[in-house]
Structure formats: structure tokens, C-alpha cells
């Protein structure tokens, strides 16, 4: 991207906002923004009247006067599809609308994967029941259930009985309103573009559960040719499906990374994904040598971009801008790596009775002084939002930090020091296992909602999210 080009960035928050601010300062670039913050009140009140078609129509009318020459977005819920629709309308480079829909409609994606890479698929079926309706007889458990259209692992979990599945798919009036407002913009476009035979996105998908280590393949497609950027290891809290940290460099053998790229190549070619960034989540079981796809995300995994920049010197946000203006991402210069290892550390509680103390201003300043390279994102929420997190996600994520280190051992040591400054537990298995077990016992006993302290702060000139979800 050159200073003469003007890019529209949709739903620009958290990691994206930080990266675009950096690029604007480094290269003298100009960005305009549109879209709201889905996780911050009052911005997320826009959900009540959001219409994807009208949103794109308005932007298309403004494009010439604003001087926009490209559009980009890494937001899963609305942004990636909105960017594809606008690029299509304006004749700009972009990922095809059909490819975005094929990736984001989880049942449709499974059907495509079964055609082109059945060895990397799991058994799956549509849950033949609407929200809250009786569960069909004859299901064999355990099963992994997730929405056909969702993001952030919302409502994705293993269930072990008809009763548990029915309980998981029953929602109150407010919950149903939120779910329908989140899914309906996608549903309308999918009906038009994928056809009436494709099951509604307002349904749930049942899958064969997988027990294996989880990884992410990140890459891009330019002029139909696929290229890998790297692989991130996703480490879970013990005996859960909840992320504890994400690490680079990966420990996955190079031969398995090549296999993962081949699966991605076959799938993306089948859905017509010829231009854009992608992220493929997958399991790999070393004992059986089995690789199975979790899902394809037709956009950058923004949380990982900072890790690649630290360790590989690869600037994925600059690559996204190159793609938005029709240029080869390989032309983006690499930076000098600043770390030998990096991680995105996730802090969460599994016990609704736990007290979560978010960092004070003094603690944030101490973190910024001790770790000038660090990123800190606290996530304060209302009691109602926290209750919904426990139902929809099985835990409450109250913070994230990003750090780099000379190697894995130095990264762990720096994480220990950062956690001590913030008063947060260390997100490594030897510390986390006890918290998970206590949370599980207390949750079974039925305890009160998590207490919390909401502190709005910023450090080192970087925005710190103070997300308050859509409150009842």
C-alpha cells in the first residue's frame, strides 16, 4: 500500500487497531473505519438495527467521495463478509463472497471437506431440532455440538446425553434475541448465494469429538496459489476445550505442516478461495498420525499476527493491505524478529464464585514499564454477561497478555514476572490444573456468579480493551 491509496477498515478493534495504528505511523498511511465493537457497550447496541446489506450499500455510496481504493477486515462475525460484499460491488480485489460463505457455514464446509479431503474430516450431522425443541432419539454420545454460524467458540462444547444437549440448546428470550441478531445477517446472504437447499444457519451441528493437540495454519492465497505463513500451537487448560495460550514457534513436525497445507489447498480451491488470508484450525494426534480439520476461517487470525511479527518478522496486517490493493503479499518486506518465542496468554476462571480482580492503574503502569514490548487486554464484564459466558463458553476470559522471549524458557520466566505484577495466575499447566478442578467442583455444586472489578486503563500508548458484552 502506498500513501496515495486510501483503505477502508471494517470492525477495526483490539489487535487490528494496534497494528493499523502502527502501520499508519510507520508508512504514512491513511485509514478510514466503519463498523461497531461487538464486545463493547454502548457500541454493540448497533446490533439491534444492524443490516448487512444496508451497511454495505451505504459504504458503496460513500466510496468515491471518500477516495477508498480497497477494503479489509479480519472480524469474523460480520467484517469478513461485509468486506467481500463491498469489494465485489466496487470491483476491488477481495475474497469472493461465495468462498466466505462456504467457510463460515460450518455444515456446508464439512460437506465440501468430505468431498475433497475426507481423511481430514470427522463424522458430522445436522441437529434436526430448533433451539429448545426436543432432541431427536437415537443419537450416540459423546458428541461435539456447535452453531452452524458462530465465532469465538460460542456455544461449542461436548455433550454426553440427550438431557445435556437439550439443556445446552435452550435459551431465554434475551439470549435468543442476541443469537438471532448475530446470525441473521449471514443467513440472509447465505440463502441468496448458497441456495435454498443449504440448511439454515440458525441451527446446530453435531460432530464426532476429537481428543488431540490443536494447531492453526495461517496463510494466504494470491492469484489462486496458496502460501503458508506459519503454524501456531494452541494449548488448552487441562481437560478443557478452553485456550490457555497460543505459541510460536510451533512444535508440530514440518512434515505434518506440509500435510495441513495440502488439505487447505484442496478445500480452498474447491470453494473458490483464490485471493485472501486464511486460518485453518486443526487437530493432530501423533499417536495415530491423524490430522482432522476443526474449521476454516476466511480471514487473518488477528490474535496471531503479533506473534508472527515478533518471531518471524512477518507483518500480516501489511500483507492484508497488499491483498486489499491487488498486490502480492510476498512483496511486503520482512522485519527483523524481536523474539525467539512469543505467546498470547489467556486468563480465565472456571468457577462462577471466583473473584476476578482486574489490574489497577498502578499495576498497568508497572506492566508497561517492565515489559515495553507487552500487550495487555483486560475484559471487565457485567454479572449478566459473565453468567452468559459460563453457559456459552464454559468459562470467563478476563484478560490476555502478549509477550516475547529469547526462547521458550525466557518466555516462561517473563510470563511469571508479568503475572506477579498483575496478580494473575500463570497460564501454564502446572498452575492451571488446580484452578480448573476447583472450578469444575464448584460449578457442579451451583455457586453464585463471578464477582469482578471493572477498571478502564491504558498503557504505553496502546489501547486496552474494556469490553462489556451485550448486557441484559
DSSP assignments along 453-466, one per residue: E-----BTTB----
Eight-class DSSP state of 141: S
Please classify residue 238 by burial: count the beta carbons closer than 10 Å to its beta carbon, then call 0-12 exposed, 13-18 middle and 19+ buried.
middle
3-class secondary structure per residue, 415-447: HHHHHHHHCCCCCCHHHHHHHHHHHHHHHHHCC
State the pLDDT at residue 435. Answer: 53
The mean pLDDT value for 163-190 works out to: 91
Dihedral angle sign, alpha carbons of residues 82, 231, 258, 211: negative
Q: Which of the listed CATH numbers 3.50.50.60, 3.40.605.10, 3.40.50.20, 3.40.50.11810 matches domain 6-101?
A: 3.40.50.20
Q: What is the mean pLDDT of residues 371-378?
A: 96
pLDDT of residue 437: 55
pLDDT in the model for residue 463: 32
The grid cell for 360 is 489497577
Q: Is residue 455 predicted with pLDDT exceeding 60? A: no
- Of residues 269 and 171, more confidence is placed in 269
* Low-confidence winner among 12-26, 144-158, 272-286 (lowest mean pLDDT): 144-158
DSSP assignment, residue 169?
Answer: T
More confident position, 109 or 46: 109
Least confident piece of the model among 45-49, 145-149, 257-261, 294-298: 45-49
pLDDT of 449 reads: 38
451-453 and 396-405 strand pairing:
unpaired
What ranges do the domains of the chain cover? 6-101, 123-207, 339-472
Residue 37 is predicted with a pLDDT of: 83
Distance CA 450, CA 356 (A): 7
Is pLDDT of 442 > 60?
Answer: no
Residues 317, 318, 321, CA angle at the centre, nearest 5°? 90
Residue 450 confidence (pLDDT): 40
Percent of the chain with pLDDT over 90: 74
- Contact between residue 146 and residue 127 where contact means Cβ atoms under 8 Å apart: no
Does the pLDDT value for residue 443 go beyond 80?
Answer: no
| Arithmetic mean of pLDDT, 370-374 | 97
* Other CB atoms within 10 A of residue 239 CB: 10
Confirm if 380 and 453 have CB atoms less than 8 A apart: yes
Mean per-residue pLDDT over the chain, rounded: 89
Integer angstrom CA distances of residue 78 from 23, 205, 298: 24, 20, 12
Q: Please report the pLDDT score of residue 391 as a whole number.
A: 76
Mean pLDDT of 215-233: 98
pLDDT at 467: 33
Cα 136 from Cα 222, distance rounded (Å)? 44
Contacts of 235-241 with CB under 8 Å at 24 or more apart are 235/429, 237/348, 237/350, 237/395, 237/432, 237/433, 237/435, 237/436, 238/429, 238/432, 238/433, 238/436, 239/433, 239/436, 240/350, 240/394, 240/395, 240/436, 241/153, 241/156, 241/157, 241/158, 241/394
* Spatial contact of 161 and 137, defined as CB atoms under 8 Å apart: no
Residue 304: predicted pLDDT: 98
Average pLDDT over residues 135-143: 95
Q: Is pLDDT at 352 greater than 50 in this prediction?
A: yes
Give the model's pLDDT for residue 365: 97
Omega before 303 within 30 of 0, i.e. cis: no
Residue 151 has pLDDT above 70, yes or no: no
Q: Indicate if the pLDDT at residue 175 is higher than 90.
A: no
- Asked if residue 118 has pLDDT above 80, the reply is yes
Sequential DSSP letters for 33-99: EE---TTSTTGGGGGGG--HHHHHHHHHHHHHHHT--EEE---TTTHHHHHHHHHHHHT-S---HHH
Write the pLDDT tens digit of every residue in 237-279: 998 889 999 999 999 999 999 999 999 999 999 999 999 999 9
Name the more confident of 429 and 346: 346
Segment 404-433 shows an average pLDDT of 92
> Per-residue pLDDT for 44 more than 90?
no
d(Cα 280, Cα 216) in Å, to the nearest integer? 6
Amino acid at each position: 500500500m502506498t500513501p496515495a491509496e486510501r483503505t477502508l477498515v471494517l470492525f477495526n478493534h483490539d489487535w487490528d487497531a494496534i497494528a493499523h495504528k502502527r502501520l499508519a505511523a510507520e508508512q504514512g498511511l491513511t485509514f478510514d473505519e466503519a463498523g461497531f465493537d461487538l464486545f463493547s457497550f454502548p457500541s454493540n447496541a448497533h446490533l439491534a438495527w444492524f443490516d448487512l446489506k444496508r451497511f454495505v450499500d451505504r459504504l458503496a455510496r460513500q466510496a468515491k467521495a471518500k477516495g477508498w481504493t480497497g477494503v479489509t477486515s479480519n472480524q469474523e462475525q460480520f467484517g469478513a463478509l461485509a468486506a467481500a460484499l463491498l469489494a465485489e460491488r466496487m470491483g476491488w480485489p477481495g475474497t469472493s463472497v461465495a468462498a466466505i460463505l462456504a467457510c463460515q457455514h460450518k455444515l456446508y464446509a464439512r460437506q465440501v471437506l468430505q468431498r475433497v479431503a475426507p481423511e481430514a474430516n470427522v463424522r458430522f450431522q445436522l441437529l434436526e431440532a430448533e433451539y429448545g425443541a426436543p432432541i431427536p432419539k437415537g443419537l450416540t454420545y459423546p458428541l461435539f455440538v456447535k452453531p452452524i454460524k458462530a465465532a469465538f467458540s460460542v456455544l461449542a462444547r461436548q455433550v454426553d446425553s440427550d438431557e445435556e444437549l437439550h439443556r445446552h440448546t435452550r435459551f431465554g428470550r434475551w439470549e435468543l434475541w442476541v443469537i438471532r441478531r448475530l446470525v441473521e445477517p449471514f443467513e440472509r446472504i447465505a440463502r441468496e448465494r448458497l441456495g435454498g437447499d443449504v440448511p439454515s444457519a440458525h441451527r446446530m451441528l453435531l460432530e464426532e469429538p476429537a481428543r488431540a493437540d490443536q494447531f492453526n495454519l495461517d496463510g494466504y492465497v494470491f492469484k489462486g496459489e496458496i502460501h503458508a505463513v506459519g503454524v501456531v500451537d494452541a494449548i488448552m487448560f487441562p481437560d478443557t476445550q478452553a485456550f490457555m495460550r497460543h505459541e510460536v514457534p510451533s512444535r508440530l513436525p514440518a512434515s505434518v505442516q506440509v500435510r495441513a497445507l495440502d488439505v487447505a489447498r484442496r478445500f480452498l480451491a474447491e470453494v473458490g478461495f483464490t485471493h485472501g488470508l486464511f486460518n485453518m484450525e486443526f487437530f493432530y494426534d501423533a499417536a495415530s498420525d491423524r490430522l482432522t480439520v476443526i474449521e476454516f476461517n476466511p480471514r487473518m487470525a488477528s490474535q496471531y499476527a503479533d506473534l508472527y511479527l515478533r518471531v518471524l518478522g512477518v507483518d500480516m496486517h501489511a500483507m492484508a493491505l497488499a491483498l486489499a490493493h491487488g498486490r502480492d503479499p510476498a512483496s511486503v518486506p520482512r522485519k527483523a524478529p524481536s523474539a525467539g518465542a512469543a505467546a498470547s496468554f489467556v486468563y480465565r476462571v472456571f468457577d462462577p464464585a471466583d473473584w476476578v480482580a482486574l489490574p489497577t492503574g498502578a499495576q498497568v503502569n508497572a506492566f508497561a514499564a517492565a515489559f515495553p514490548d507487552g500487550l495487555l487486554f483486560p475484559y471487565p464484564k457485567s454479572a449478566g454477561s459473565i453468567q452468559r459466558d459460563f453457559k456459552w463458553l464454559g468459562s470467563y476470559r478476563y484478560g490476555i497478555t502478549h509477550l516475547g522471549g529469547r526462547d521458550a524458557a525466557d518466555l516462561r520466566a517473563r510470563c511469571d514476572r508479568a503475572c506477579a505484577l498483575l496478580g494473575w495466575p500463570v497460564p501454564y499447566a502446572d498452575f492451571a490444573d488446580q484452578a480448573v478442578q476447583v472450578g469444575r467442583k464448584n460449578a457442579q455444586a451451583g455457586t453464585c456468579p463471578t464477582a469482578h472489578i471493572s477498571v478502564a486503563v491504558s498503557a504505553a500508548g496502546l489501547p486496552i480493551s474494556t469490553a462489556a458484552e451485550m448486557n441484559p
